[in-house]
Structure 1
Amino acid sequence: GWNDVSLHGSDQIMTPNIDIIGHKGIVIQNYYTDTQGTPSRSAMLTGKYPMRMGTQGESIGGAEDRGVPVSEKLLPSYLKDLGYATHLVGKWQLGKSRECFLPTYRGFDTFYGFLGSSIDYYTYNRVEVNMLNNTLIIFVSDNGAAATGMNENFGSNVPLRGTKGTPWEGAVRSTALIWHNRMRSHVWKGLFHVTDWMPTLISAAKGKITDPIDGIDQWHAMINDEEALRTEMIIAVDDLKGWGALRDGEFKIVIGNIEQCCSEYYGEELSKLRNEEPLYEKALLDSETATVFREVLNTTLNINKAFKKRSLCIISKPKNKINNTQLCMPTNELTLRFRNLWLEIQPRRPPSFDIRANPSFHDYIWYPWLDGDEPVPVPLTNTPRYPLQVSTEEFNYYVETKLKIMKESLNDCVKSLTDKFVDGMSRLF
């Protein structure tokens, strides 16, 4: 969660190795991910909103026949086109019921990790390779902490509201750090969505995405500390639970009914139980990352700058504004726009679990259990019910929007026919 990284001001559990990546690199202060693992990962690797692919909502279950559509080209395939070798270590969770969903069929040369949502911890031997000067390091979280609910743990999203699996800030406002040895260190306050990673990283690799996606290339804006190219985004949608969230500038709208048990502020009471705070300065300087930077890159951490940067990364609660109704100007603009976007959802089927996936049938290994000839579930075509009733204003807005699109299409068609006619006539003389 947001408060699980000491860079954001928490002194309960120090994370100096993560913090130094931020202190020496770029902190993306307004980074938004999705609410669960599968939608976040699919958005990152495709550059598209999960709702366009049926990967929104709950993560793919261990025995569920679902994955990122094979028609989608993923980030590693674009990188291979640019001459890169691609390897994945760790968690996948984008489908494993069929071989065509596996990482090595989706653009990765090799894969070492686990296909589902979780696995037991294991130890490993660290391998050092002299490639730090030519490495781009990115640290992000795929969603907020589950401070309560079915997957409750000790994660903390303080001071943000809600938990993993909800559209509140505690689920989707996440840590994002990026480092390269030649990057200028700063806190970038531009708006960045998880879908932006694909075009941004391809741009960093001197490539360009021409396919239609939702992500925006923000590489130059980010490294040069310029204004963000993104001003709005669909934060998250769950058509089966019937809720969604949209942000436009400084405004955010949440529609639908969200579980009340996961919609509060959690964790602040724990801060009162801690003993003497550990020394942040000592934790940073004694960390393994600081040692590597000193010995390999011959660079040291400026503690004064680190404390100043840390202060810029702490979210403060607004004062004397929460109950000030004079600041509110009623408007239905976001509701109208969200309803229009809701029509673009690729509906998700209610999860069903296949007994054939049981690892006991496959030498106790989670592995694809369906053959290539097995029929793929037909996508649903009915648009899921929008959580809000239609008002007269919304109906008029929808009609006007469709008429505008029709008018633009007709104008383009007429212009094209006119140009062809003029060109044909000119050839006669």
Structure 2
Amino acid sequence: MHHKGRLVACFLLALTCFFVVRNHKSFQLQRDSSSTVPSKKPNIVFILADDLGWGDVGYLNPLVITPTIDKLAREGVILNQSYVAQSCSPSRAAIMSGYYPYRLGFQEDGVTVDMPTGVPLHLMLLPRKLQQLGYSTYMVGKWHLGFCKKEYTPNGRGFDHFYGYYGAGQDHYTHVGKCRGLDLHHDFEPDRTQNGTYSTYLFSGKAVEFIKAHDKSKPFFLYLAFQNVHSPLQVPEIYTDMYPSVANENRRIKLGMITAMDDGIAKVVNALRRHGLLDNTLIVFSSDNGAPQNERFEGNNWPLRGGKGSLFEGGTRAVGFIHGSMLEKTGYVNNQLIHAVDWYPTLSTVAGAETLDPEMDGLNVWNTLRKNEPSPRTEFVYNILERKPLAGIRVHDYKLIVGNSHFSACRVPPPETKLKFEIECTSLIRNGVYLYDLKNDPTESFNLAEKMPQRVKEMNTRIEEYKKKLVPTLDRGISVALLSDPQNFGGAWAPGWC
């Protein structure tokens, strides 16, 4: 058992510390051919991957082909303690608002297409804030924060231009989702011309168009929320052919989807360089949550426990990095605490904001990112649910999960490896209490709740304080499902029914 433990420890260290950058034809950055002087304020490109696991990038898993991501991460700052919510909509709401999802009614799973609501309209979202600071604002890809009326859509929340989809997921080629409704829009108009075009090609291409057409005298904010690597498992065959040694077909397709996304990012980086904008652009990359854990095992959160939907690290600790010339220290791994709610105040500060909403949960961590100074964040809420009482909190290095959940939390070795580790699972029981020391036990293998009852009590008291600001979970909108039917809007999902 001791020998096996040493093997596991060595393997985890190798995955965490091994940085690899491979040559790849898609990352041939072109020389700057533009002499136009860009805006002095930095441009901001925020790239959000969907359902990307902790072990689904090359710099943490050398079997994954992501040369663009690896190069940007190596040249920038790798974020090793960056957290998001457990699933799609909650994380996106946190990023856009600076508020914990449980304070928005977004603590449960994703927003459905028949929900007559969205992020509360009294809140100013990040793109609107950046507009006020003189930025042009563009969004490409997945919104997933409500669209029942125009005020809830990307255009209604501060984006000058939007190209993408409102819902959770859909076919990557037909862009048709639930109830056979088309969900692809350019601003408010459905785009019916792209049946057969792979979404990653489509979204990276549209981002390049926005960059090319942008007025360089103004700074811009580009929010590029890829559909990859969310289900369904679909990718052009040229990408699955890059992984001939991976026997698991689902894993091979998922790996291809990751590499396709990496190629899309390369196109965006090339466009920034070509138009003389890269040197003055801050690039942020993050996943919205960990990879799902299901019977297909196509995602990889190894060596973290759990996956999408759970409050364990595999569901909430996001792979990510930042890159830009405005960073004073680069080429290292940042181990300071950062949460998704921190992006709003931090990026607003980068853009020149002097005041922010004092009720916001987010903290300005710009000096933490720019200089590797200690983070002002010492604790955060993973989530607080009221329908099936469940909550999680981190205070310094300790993490507490209390309550009920239907999720099991496994540590699943990546399917592409030949290592024969056992799948280690924890079944969450009713009224369970789980305490972990993440500094010494990042894989959440040893529950300390019985050994440290006083710490459990103290952290549970902090949860109860946070609960005072809980907003009830948003109505799922079953009674208005017929009103939102795409057949009422020419076969496409559209606002205007609530």
Pair in the same fold by TM > 0.5: yes
Give the length in aligned residue pairs.
327
2:469 counterpart letter in structure 1? E
1:140 is aligned, of 279, 286, 305, to 286
2:386 paired with 1:239: yes
Matched, 1:62 2:116: no
Q: Conserved in 1, the CA contact under 8 Å of 2:297 and 2:415?
A: no
| Aligned-partner Cα distance in 1 for 2:393–2:54 | 20
- Letter in structure 2 aligned against 1:173: R
Whole-angstrom distance in 1 between the partners of 2:447 and 2:145: 42
Q: Give the 3-state SS of the residue equivalent to 2:465 in structure 1.
A: helix
**Alignment match of 2:477 (pick from 352, 369, 376):** 352
Contact conserved, 1:356 with 1:369, CA < 8 A, in 2? no
DSSP-derived class of the 2:418 partner: helix
Amino acid at match of 2:468: L
Match among 71, 95, 102 for residue 153 of structure 2 = 102
Deviation at 1:206, TM superposition (A): 2.0
* 1:336 paired residue number: 461
Structure whose CA Rg is larger: 1
The whole-number CA distance in structure 1 between the counterparts of 2:133 and 2:168 is 30
Residue in structure 1 matched with residue 320 of structure 2 by the alignment: 176
Specify which structure has the higher proportion of strand. 2
Aligned to 1:6: 58
Change (3 A) 1:105 1:250: same
What amino acid does structure 2 have at the position aligned with 1:5?
A: V
Query: For structure 2, which runs of at least 5 residues remain unmatched after alignment?
Result: 1-52, 173-197, 210-270, 421-438
* 8 Å CA contact 1:156, 1:267 repeated in 2: yes
1:267-306 matches, within 5 Å, as 267-268=413-414, 270-272=416-418
**In 1, Cα distance between equivalents of 2:134 and 2:154:** 18
- Give the match for residue 24 of structure 1: 75
2:75–2:323 CA contact under 8 A, matched in 1:
yes
Trace 1:38-77 onto structure 2 (pairs within 5 A). Answer: 38-77=89-128
Gaps of 5+ in 1: 275-314, 375-429
Show the 5 A alignment for 1:92-241: 92-121=143-172, 122=198, 123-124=201-202, 125=205, 128=271, 129-148=275-294, 154-183=298-327, 184-185=329-330, 186-212=332-358, 213-241=360-388
Identity rate, percent: 32
Compared with structure 1, are the counterparts of its residues 323 and 230 closer, same or farther at alpha carbon in structure 2 (3 Å cutoff)? closer
Of 381, 395, 404, which residue of structure 2 is paired with 1:257?
404
8 Å contact kept, 1:55–1:348: yes
State the shift of 1:337 in Å.
1.8
CA–CA separation in structure 2 for the residues paired with 1:156 and 1:316: 22
CA distance in 1, matches of 2:477, 2:119: 17
2: CA distance, partners of 1:82 / 1:188? 28
Letter in 2 for 1:272: K
User: Is the contact between residue 46 and residue 72 of structure 1 (CA under 8 Å) also seen in structure 2?
Assistant: yes
| Deviation (angstroms), 1:181 | 2.7
CA distance in 2, matches of 1:16, 1:250: 32
Q: Is the 8 A contact 1:199 1:208 kept in 2?
A: no
1:243/1:256 contact within 8 Å kept: yes
Per-residue deviation, 1:221: 2.1
Shift of 1:19: 1.3
Answer yes or no: is the 8 Å Cα contact 2:280–2:326 preserved in 1. no
Give the direction of change, closer, same or farther, for the CA distance of 1:101–1:268 in structure 2 (3 Å limit): same
**For residues 24 and 339 of structure 1, do their structure 2 counterparts lie closer, same or farther at Cα, with a shift above 3 Å needed?**
same
CA contact (8 A) 2:368 2:374 kept: yes
When residues 267 and 352 of structure 1 are mapped into structure 2, their CA distance, relative to the original with a 3 A threshold, is: farther
- Distance (whole Å) between structure 1 residues aligned to residue 385 and residue 447 of structure 2: 29
Q: CA deviation at 1:77?
A: 1.2
How far does residue 361 in structure 1 lie from its aligned partner after superposition?
2.2
Residue among 135, 141, 151 paired with 1:84: 135
2:300 and 2:70 map into 1 onto residues whose CA distance is 17
